[in-house]
Amino acid sequence: MKRLKTLFCVLALLALGGCASMFQYAGARQAGSIVDYLYPDAKEPPKLEPTVTRLRLPVRVGIAFVPGGGRGAGPQEAAQIQLLERVKASFSRYDYIGGIEVIPAAYLRPRGGFDNLDQVARMFNVDVIALVSYDQVRFNDTNRLAVLYWTVVGAYLVKGDQYDVQTMVDAAVFDVRSRKLLFRAPGMSQVKGSATLAGYGKEVRGAQSDGYVQAVDQMIPALQAQLANFRERAQSDPGIQVERRDGKRGAGGIGWAAALLLAGVGSRMGRRRA
């Protein structure tokens, strides 16, 4: 009898050790890097050369997620579209912005570079593209004592896993023709929690989804501030020239203000006729 008890204890300890080893510290990362997409062959951070940007008002804007590095990286496409629609609303508040296109992920190739960006711009007839990059890291930390209770009591009674999901998103707005970065707006979030071992996968997927939503929540006010700041900055920036779609030009100062005013008037008149 004693031998049977001893054997049972040994088997139980081995089982517990096996369970614990299955849930060691682990983590996962999903990222869509704008540097990997636009500069796939770069061996060091790109140097952005000063160039003159010529914008035609009202500016046509495209919005897209940067393609990830592998399958399943980043939010699912339906979630991407929902997040991009919220970003689109930030641009639609300004009269100098014309049409805004949400570009599905399928049109951007991983490591496609500016050649791919040019193709997308022509396909969707946009002048400027806002590329939303992301970097999400999930840390897992299993409480071994909880695994013991999970083995004895049951997975639904003890929360044995803890997680920490950190998410960064960044909207970088590029003029396609000049390949110039006009401005950028970041957002970050952190989602912490715990779940039963049985429900861990579902809880973590929910946390990852919430992480993107919260990061975009933080990014949108920063994006709106950058849009307003760009409008003011362009009035005195010699590196930005503007023209209306009828071909009349302006450069900084009065030219920008006049073109912007005319673009806004034309936009309002078009709305009234509609």
Give the chain's mean pLDDT: 77
- 7 or 227: which leads in pLDDT: 227
Cα dist from 108 to 64, 71, 118, 129, whole Å: 8, 14, 11, 12
Is the pLDDT at 138 greater than 90? The verdict is no
What percent of the chain has pLDDT above 90? 42
CA distance 220 to 88: 10
Is the pLDDT at 256 greater than 70? The verdict is no
pTM above 0.85, yes or no: no
Is the pLDDT at 186 greater than 60? The verdict is yes
CA distance 62 to 129: 5
Is the pLDDT at 21 greater than 70? The verdict is no
Query: Residue 56: pLDDT band by 50, 70, 90 thresholds?
Result: confident
CA distance 195 to 269: 56
> What domains can be seen in the chain, in order of their start residue?
25-219 (3.30.160)
Predicted confidence (pLDDT) per residue in 63-77, tens digit: 999 998 665 578 888
- Give the pairing type, strands 26-32 and 128-142: antiparallel
Is the pLDDT at 61 greater than 70? The verdict is yes
Cα dist from 45 to 39, 48, 85, 98, whole Å: 9, 9, 30, 32
Q: Under DSSP, is residue 125 helix (H, G, I), strand (E, B) or coil?
A: coil
